[in-house]
């Protein structure tokens, strides 16, 4: 059965559901804090304004099931993307489909913006997905994450070498 994904505004209920997701090792460090903690500190998609401006829910087109989320973070002339799939939707080949969908949305919103993302260097699964979708590593550095200081690659979408993205 072929799965099709679509992006929609993220609701508060979507945010609550995402906070319940639990990933297996070694991906467990990507889980979000409890919804109550997110609300208490106004963190990310628990803040209604940030949720409205930056976050989208990923749903299946057939049954509208919540299967992921996307963040589009504007930075000067760049849109930095972040995304996550529900744990049981990982390792199904959906990552490349979602990445292409997100790139299409970025191009629709800001056609002249550079599109980039950060990925932890140990996360080979994600790096392969991003490379298949036309991203190339352009920088590496350390930064603070919720689970400590991490080594990341910055990857930029290469418009000239990305025939997979149908705009």
**What would the pLDDT profile of 69-128 be if each residue is shown by its tens digit?**
999 999 989 999 999 999 999 989 899 999 999 999 999 999 999 999 999 999 999 999
Parallel, antiparallel or unpaired: strands 114-120 and 148-157: antiparallel
* Residue 52, CA atoms < 13 Å, CB-side half-sphere: 3
Architecture of the domain defined by 5-161: 3-Layer(aba) Sandwich (3.40)
Whether the per-residue pLDDT at 1 is higher than 70: the answer is no
Mean predicted confidence (pLDDT) in 159-166:
62
Mean predicted confidence (pLDDT) in 131-151:
93
The whole-number pLDDT of residue 160 equals 78
- CA 65 vs. chain centroid, Å, equals 17
């Amino acid at each position: 059965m072929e799965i099709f994904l679509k992006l929609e505004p993220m609701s508060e209920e979507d945010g609550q559901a995402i906070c319940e997701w639990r990933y297996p090792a070694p991906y467990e460090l990507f889980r979000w804090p409890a919804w109550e903690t997110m609300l208490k500190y106004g963190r990310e998609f628990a803040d209604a304004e940030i949720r409205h401006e930056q976050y989208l829910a990923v749903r299946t087109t057939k049954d509208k099931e919540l299967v992921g989320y996307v963040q589009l973070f504007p930075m000067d002339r760049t849109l930095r993307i972040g995304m996550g799939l529900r744990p049981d939707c990982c390792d199904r080949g959906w990552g490349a489909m979602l990445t292409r969908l997100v790139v299409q949305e970025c191009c629709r919103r800001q056609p002249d913006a550079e599109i980039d993302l950060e990925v932890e260097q140990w996360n080979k699964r994600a790096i392969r997905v991003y490379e298949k979708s036309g991203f190339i590593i352009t920088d590496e550095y350390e930064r603070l994450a919720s689970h400590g200081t991490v080594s990341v690659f910055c990857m930029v979408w290469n418009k000239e070498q990305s025939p997979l993205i149908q705009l």
